Chain A
Amino acid sequence: MSLFLKFLVAAVAAGTPLLFGTVGEILNEKVGHLNLGVEGMMALGACAGFMTAYLTDSLALALLASFAAGVLASLIYAVLTVTFLANQNVAGLTLTIFGTGLSNFIGVYMISRSAEGTLKLPAKVTAALAAVHIPGLSDAPVVGELLFSYNVFVYLGVAVALAAGWYLYGTKTGLNVQAIGENPGAADAASIPVNKFKYINLLLGGGICGIGGAYCSMIINGGVWLSDSVGGLGWIAVALVIFAAWKPQLAILGSFVFGGLRVLKYYVPTGAVPIAFFDMLPFLMTALVLIVTSMRGSKGSHIPASLGVNYFREDR
Chain B
Amino acid sequence: MNQNKTTSREPLFHVVKRPERSGRQMLLFRLGAVALSILAGGLFILAIGYNPIEIYGTILNGAFRSKIAVQSTIKITIPLCISALGATLAFKMKFWNIGGEGQIIMGGVFATYFALFHDDWPHLPLMIVCFLAGLIGGGLWGLIPALFKVKWNTNETLLTLMLNYIALYIISWLQNGPWRDPTANGFPKIAAFAKNAVLGKVLGVQAGWIVMLVLTVLVWVYLKFTKQGYEVAVVGESQDTARYAGIHVKKVILRTMFLSGAIGGVCGMLQACGTDATLSTGIAGGVGFTAIIVAWLCQLNPGMILVVSFLFGVLEKGSGVVQSSYGLSTDCAAVLQGIILFFILASEFFVRYAFAGRSSAKGGKKA
Contact surface of A with B, Cβ cutoff 8 Å? 34, 36, 76, 79-80, 83-87, 89-91, 93-102, 104-105, 107-109, 112, 191, 232, 235, 238-239, 242, 274-277, 279-280, 283-284, 286-287, 290-291, 294-295, 297, 303, 308, 312-314
Contacts and interface: CB of A to CB of B under 8 A. Distances in A.
Interface of B: 7, 14-17, 48, 96, 98, 148, 152-155, 157-159, 161-163, 165-166, 169-170, 172-173, 176-177, 286, 289-290, 292-293, 296, 327-329, 331-335, 337-339, 341-342, 345-346, 348-349, 353
A80 B342 contact: yes
Nearest to A193: B9
A287 B17 CA distance: 38
Given A76-B342, A276-B172, 18 more contacts: A83-B15, A86-B345, A87-B296, A89-B292, A90-B345, A97-B334, A98-B335, A105-B331, A108-B327, A108-B328, A108-B329, A108-B331, A274-B173, A275-B172, A276-B169, A287-B162, A308-B157, A314-B16
B55 to A, nearest CB: 12
Nearest to A232: B165
B140 to A, nearest CB: 16
A89 B96 contact: yes
A97 B349 contact: no
Listed from nearest, the 4 A-B pairs whose CB atoms lie closest are: A98-B338, A101-B334, A276-B173, A108-B329
A107 B48 CA distance: 12
Contacts of A36: 98, 157, 161
Contacts of A98: 334-335, 337-339, 341-342
B154 to A, nearest CB: 4
A203 B292 CA distance: 25
A283 B152 contact: no
Given A90-B296, A97-B289, A98-B334, A291 B349 contact: no
Interface core residue of B169, B289, B331, B342 (most chain A CB under 10 Å): B331
B345 A291 contact: no
Q: From DSSP, what is the main secondary structure of chain A's interface residues? A: helix
B335 A101 contact: yes
Contacts of B349: 83-86
Nearest to A104: B331
Contacts of B353: 85
A258 to B, nearest CB: 13
Contacts of A232: 165
Given A94-B341, A101-B335, A279-B169, A89 B154 contact: no
Contacts of B15: 83, 85, 312-314
B292 A93 contact: yes
B64 to A, nearest CB: 23
12 contacts: A85-B353, A86-B349, A105-B328, A109-B329, A239-B161, A275-B176, A276-B173, A280-B165, A283-B162, A290-B158, A291-B159, A314-B16
Nearest to A99: B338
A97 B293 contact: yes
